[in-house]
Amino acid sequence: MHHASPPALIALDWGTSSLRAYLMGREGALLERRTQPWGIQHLPEGGFVAAFRGIAGDWRDRLPTLPVLAAGMIGSRHGWQEVPYVECPADPAAIAAGIVAFDGGCGTVHIVPGLIQGGGLPDVMRGEETQIIGALAIEPELATASLFVLPGTHCKWANIRAGRVVRFTTYITGELYAVLRDHSILGRPAKEAVVQPVDKASAVADASFHRGLKTALDSGAEGMAGRLFTTRSLFLNGELSAPQTLDYLSGLLVGEEIRSVTAGLHVSPCPPIVLLGDAGLCDRYRMALAAFGINTVRTLDETGPAGLWQIASAARLLV
């Protein structure tokens, strides 16, 4: 942690399941970081105010003039204060212009808006835009043209042109996997198996994941819908063990996601692809992209603080 720089911003990355707080100094130096499992669905007694006081109350008491900026699901309709989405294409200035300031009972808090892609089939994001802005600040050459992938329950693929998020698509791959695993016939063998699931990092698990990827890759125009049941039929004929069925299913779903994205990439060469987020999930997506012949993929970690700093700067919140 740096301590040479005087504090200039209290920044919060406040999602569904966790709350991260950063005390930031001049030029965006990270002075201190804290994490609590107080996402908007897991608040302590006393709600949002108690969570804020619990993670950053001492900073606020010591530095009462410091601006507070929060991004993520905290600005959703289930959050502390709903903030309207900003239309794509959007750059840091457009996002900053959509910030809503309010007093939640512990001083003024500024909340970053999410992004909306309008049209007949709208799409939305909250929190990912801040990570993307942070990544563009860390690696400025990506601003020209790049494709960001943010794996998770709801995976986002965002196209960047000239420093703006121009369009994005949400794939609910993680949630689909969980639903099929827990509530369909495809997940039943693994649920009923006495054997403990194989370690995710094992060669056996990777081989089953790859088999699922290849099945999705080879599905062509037919797509994955006609191949999902092979998760069960390959188990019934003894080609997959009960635990392997889940890795195969994961490969099928991630493979279909990447197949549909690459089918829509009409540009050559493919823009630089950047993975943001959980290291384990990013590894799986890196492996999956490699199976599709896309090997030049970079990963950036914890870009949220840089994004919050950029947006605070664009909003002229920094004293």
2 assigned to some structural domain:
no
The Cα–Cα gap between 164 and 154 comes to: 21
Total domains in the chain come to 2
142 assigned to some structural domain:
yes
Do 180 and 66 share a structural domain? no
Do 160 and 194 share a structural domain? no
Do 214 and 144 share a structural domain? no
The stretch 190-196 carries a mean pLDDT of 77
319 assigned to some structural domain:
no
Q: Does position 169 have pLDDT exceeding 90, yes or no? A: yes
Domain that holds residue 178: 171-300
What percent of the chain lies above the pLDDT cut of 90? Answer: 82
Q: What are 3-58's pLDDT values in tens digits? A: 578 999 999 999 999 999 999 999 999 999 999 999 999 999 999 999 999 999 99
Q: What's residue 221's pLDDT?
A: 77
Q: What are 262-312's pLDDT values in tens digits? A: 877 765 667 899 999 989 899 999 999 999 899 889 999 899 999 999 999
7-14/145-150 β-pairing = unpaired
48 assigned to some structural domain:
yes
Q: Which of 10-24, 150-164, 193-207, 300-314 has the lowest mean pLDDT?
A: 193-207
φ, ψ of residue 156 in degrees (nearest 5): -105, 135
Q: What's residue 193's pLDDT?
A: 84
The Cα–Cα gap between 197 and 82 comes to: 41
Do 217 and 309 share a structural domain? no
Q: What's residue 104's pLDDT?
A: 85
Do 144 and 95 share a structural domain? yes
CATH code, domain with 306: 3.30.420.300
Closest among 121, 194, 154 to 15, alpha carbons compared: 154
Q: What are 54-105's pLDDT values in tens digits? A: 999 999 999 999 999 999 999 999 999 999 999 999 999 999 999 999 998 8
Do 270 and 156 share a structural domain? no
Q: What's residue 1's pLDDT?
A: 53
In this structure, what token pair is assigned to residue 256?
């279909």
